Copies of this chain bind each other. A is one copy, B any other.
Amino acid sequence: MSKEITKVSNSVIGRLPMYYRFLIYLKNNGINKISSSSLAEKMHLNASQIRQDLNCFGGFGQQGYGYNIDYLIDVISSILDLTNLKNIIIVGAGKLGVTLVHDIDFQNLGFKLFGVYDNNKDILGTSINNNIIQDISNIENLKTTIDVAVLCVPKEYAKQTTVFLTKCGIKTFWNFTHQDLQIYFNDIIVENVHLSDSLMKLSYKHKHKHTSK
């Protein structure tokens, strides 16, 4: 049974991948059903929260029994849109861009890696994992729709690159540039991976070991 989804909070969305990961772990250990309270205990969460989270999208459990793990994995996968492959490109073939080509399992995360782009003449034509690095200006001429761009360019180029890509019709960005983009662009969807912010938070937590939450 599925629900009309209106507006789901970021907190809920943020927990879905965590549930997904943990349920796969349980499945791999031969477990095929689980109750919200037992899942909560294992994940160090609250059972009410798990039920509330899932019920944003529909009723996927069975009273007196719990949740079927295979089914729940399918459901979350479908909510996160992991089976419908979207075209993604990597913009910026520096160390980070290249690492992502190798390390990210795009296929299983809802994406088809469509191409890798850069503007450095020295590396154009080189191949990474069977992806030939192409000139970024080629994006304009693509007939295929690109759904998402991964921004791996240096911070100084983040803004102008995004201007260019939005002109090419791309509205969704996985942003590794340490540059805040939502400030300058309306109507784009951005998921930030600000590694330096993350490390600063760790620095704070390390200092305030017993005073931070």
A positions within 8 Å CB-CB of B: 5-10, 13-14, 16-18, 20-22, 42-44, 79-82, 84, 86, 95-96, 98-100, 102-106, 109-111, 147-148, 172, 174, 178, 180, 182-183, 189, 191, 193-209, 211-213
Contact sample, A vs B, 21 pairs, CB 8 Å cutoff? A5-B208, A7-B212, A8-B213, A9-B213, A16-B201, A17-B200, A17-B201, A18-B180, A21-B197, A80-B204, A86-B203, A86-B206, A95-B99, A95-B102, A95-B103, A96-B103, A109-B196, A111-B199, A172-B206, A189-B206, A193-B195
Q: In the complex the two chains form, what is the Cα distance from A80 to B79 in whole Å?
A: 37
Contact of A17 among B18, B99, B104, B197 (CB under 8 A): B197
* Count of chain copies: 2
Complex contact B99–A20 (CB within 8 A): no
Tell me whether A201 and B102 are in contact in the complex, defined as CB-CB below 8 angstroms, given that A8-B212, A86-B206 are known contacts: no
Whole-angstrom distance from the CB of A102 to the nearest CB of chain B? Answer: 5
Q: In the complex the two chains form, what is the Cα distance from A183 to B25 in whole Å?
A: 13
Complex contact B203–A82 (CB within 8 A): yes
Q: In the complex the two chains form, what is the Cα distance from A18 to B200 in whole Å?
A: 10
Complex contact B197–A174 (CB within 8 A): no
Whole-angstrom distance from the CB of A207 to the nearest CB of chain B? Answer: 4
Complex contact B147–A201 (CB within 8 A): no
Tell me whether A16 and B110 are in contact in the complex, defined as CB-CB below 8 angstroms, given that A8-B212, A96-B99, A172-B206 are known contacts: no
CB-nearest residue of chain B to A174: B202
Whole-angstrom distance from the CB of A14 to the nearest CB of chain B? Answer: 6
Contact of A205 among B20, B189, B194 (CB under 8 A): B189
Complex contact A17–B194 (CB within 8 A): yes
Q: In the complex the two chains form, what is the Cα distance from A111 to B200 in whole Å?
A: 10
Q: In the complex the two chains form, what is the Cα distance from A202 to B212 in whole Å?
A: 29
Complex contact B189–A174 (CB within 8 A): no
Complex contact B212–A20 (CB within 8 A): no
